[in-house]
């Protein structure tokens, strides 16, 4: 019996994808990093400043405040959307053939363009013409999202939840679909409570999907810009002035060197979170 020698020729099939990733990912990143080391007045008038922009950004109280707001927004979003999405997925699992229709309905907001979400929700909460605004007025509930920070945060969290809850539900439902019916029957025979079934049967199946949900939703919510800017442009009184809004202001002011440095700082923050997440997943897998 003869054995064929092992060859790595199949890896050459990955070469086109690797080249594409280098063009669309690595090259722009290197260019942005180069810009972050300069003060750019025009294409021909470029001044080397080294790490000066980075020093100004990381020591700025405004950066610290924006970072805290972004982290807080991500924490609130995850605390609301993950339990709600898992709960909806559990309910859909019990609906049988109607589950597909439910998944389609919760997934509809995912196809709405980002730049339309803010104006759409502003129309809904309008006290004169919006359905939500009129309902709150009829109940005697004042909702001043323009000048009350808490109300602005409630609107942003509700809007983000409406937009992204479908992703959480779909991934959670996919994880629950991996639970064998025999496991539920065995739990029923043993007299396990609903909490015990969720903890020992469903949660292990949900864990991989929820890991992806946590990572995707953190990254997206951490860099929220379009929706927050459309609602109140960082107001009131800087209460919703997140990191991405700081970056947008730098770009609009044509401070390209500072904007590039700010982009690199945000990139490093996100990469650090992803690295920590990967390490935790790896440690959990070994256990």
Q: Is the peptide bond before 236 cis (omega within 30 degrees of 0)?
A: yes
* Predicted confidence band of residue 278 (pLDDT cuts 50, 70, 90): confident
Range of the domain at 254: 242-282
> Given a cut of 70, is residue 7 above it in pLDDT?
no
CA dihedral over 29, 32, 36, 37, signed as positive or negative:
positive
The model's pLDDT over 229-258, given as tens digits with 9 standing for 90+, comes to 989 888 888 999 999 999 999 988 888 899
**Residues 202 and 274 both lie in one domain:** no
In 3-state terms, what secondary structure has residue 151? helix
CA dist., res. 168 & res. 47, Å (int): 46
CA dist., res. 37 & res. 139, Å (int): 55
CA dist., res. 36 & res. 128, Å (int): 47
**Residues 274 and 228 both lie in one domain:** no
Total domains in the fold of the chain: 2
**Residues 163 and 223 both lie in one domain:** yes
Beta pairing partners, 46: 40
Please, which residues have CB within 8 angstroms of residue 118's CB and are 6 or more apart in sequence? 159, 226, 227, 229, 230, 231
* Predicted confidence band of residue 226 (pLDDT cuts 50, 70, 90): confident
Average pLDDT over residues 266-274: 92
- Residue 2: predicted pLDDT: 56
* Predicted confidence band of residue 4 (pLDDT cuts 50, 70, 90): low
Average pLDDT over residues 201-209: 89
Give percent of the chain above pLDDT 90.
47
> Given a cut of 70, is residue 5 above it in pLDDT?
no
**Residues 271 and 129 both lie in one domain:** no
- Residue 222: predicted pLDDT: 93
209 is a domain residue? yes
Average pLDDT over residues 187-207: 89
**Residues 164 and 246 both lie in one domain:** no
The model's pLDDT over 168-184, given as tens digits with 9 standing for 90+, comes to 999 999 999 888 888 88
Average pLDDT over residues 67-79: 96
> pTM value?
0.88
- Residue 287: predicted pLDDT: 59
**Residues 93 and 207 both lie in one domain:** yes
208 is a domain residue? yes
**Residues 226 and 248 both lie in one domain:** no
Q: How many CB atoms are located within 10 Å of the residue 4 CB?
A: 5
Average pLDDT over residues 205-209: 88
* Predicted confidence band of residue 281 (pLDDT cuts 50, 70, 90): confident
The model's pLDDT over 129-165, given as tens digits with 9 standing for 90+, comes to 888 989 988 888 888 888 999 999 999 999 999 999 9
**Residues 151 and 104 both lie in one domain:** yes
Please, which residues have CB within 8 angstroms of residue 28's CB and are 6 or more apart in sequence? none
23 is a domain residue? no
Q: How would DSSP label each residue in 160-217?
A: HHHHHHHHHHHHHHHHHTTS-HHHHHHHHHHT--HHHHIIIIIHHHHHHHHHHHHHHH
Q: What is the CATH number of the domain that holds 137?
A: 1.10.3720.10
119 is a domain residue? yes
**Residues 155 and 264 both lie in one domain:** no
């Amino acid at each position: 019996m003869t054995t064929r020698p092992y060859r790595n020729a199949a890896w050459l099939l990955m070469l086109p994808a690797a080249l594409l990733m280098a063009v669309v990912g690595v090259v722009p990143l290197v260019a942005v990093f180069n810009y972050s080391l300069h003060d750019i007045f025009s294409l021909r008038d470029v001044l080397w400043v080294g790490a000066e922009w980075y020093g100004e950004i990381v020591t700025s109280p405004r950066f610290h405040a924006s970072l805290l707001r972004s982290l807080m927004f991500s924490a609130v979003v995850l605390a609301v959307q993950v339990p709600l999405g898992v709960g909806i997925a559990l309910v859909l699992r019990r609906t049988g053939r109607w589950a597909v229709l439910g998944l389609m309905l919760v997934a509809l907001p995912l196809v709405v363009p980002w730049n339309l979400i803010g104006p759409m929700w502003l129309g809904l909460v309008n006290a004169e013409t919006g359905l939500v605004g009129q309902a709150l007025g009829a109940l005697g509930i004042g909702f001043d999202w323009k000048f009350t920070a808490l109300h602005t945060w409630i609107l942003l969290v509700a809007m983000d939840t409406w937009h992204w809850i479908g992703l959480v539900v779909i991934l959670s439902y996919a994880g629950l679909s991996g639970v064998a019916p025999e496991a539920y029957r065995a739990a029923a025979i043993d007299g396990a409570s609903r909490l015990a079934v969720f903890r020992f049967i469903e949660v292990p199946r949900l864990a991989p999907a929820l890991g992806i949900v946590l990572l995707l939703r953190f990254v997206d919510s951490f860099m929220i810009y379009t929706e927050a800017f459309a609602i109140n442009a960082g107001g009131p009184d800087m209460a919703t002035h997140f990191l991405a809004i700081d970056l947008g202001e730098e770009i609009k002011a044509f401070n390209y060197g500072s904007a590039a440095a700010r982009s690199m700082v945000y990139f490093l923050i996100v990469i650090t979170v992803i690295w920590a997440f990967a390490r935790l997943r790896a440690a959990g897998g070994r256990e």
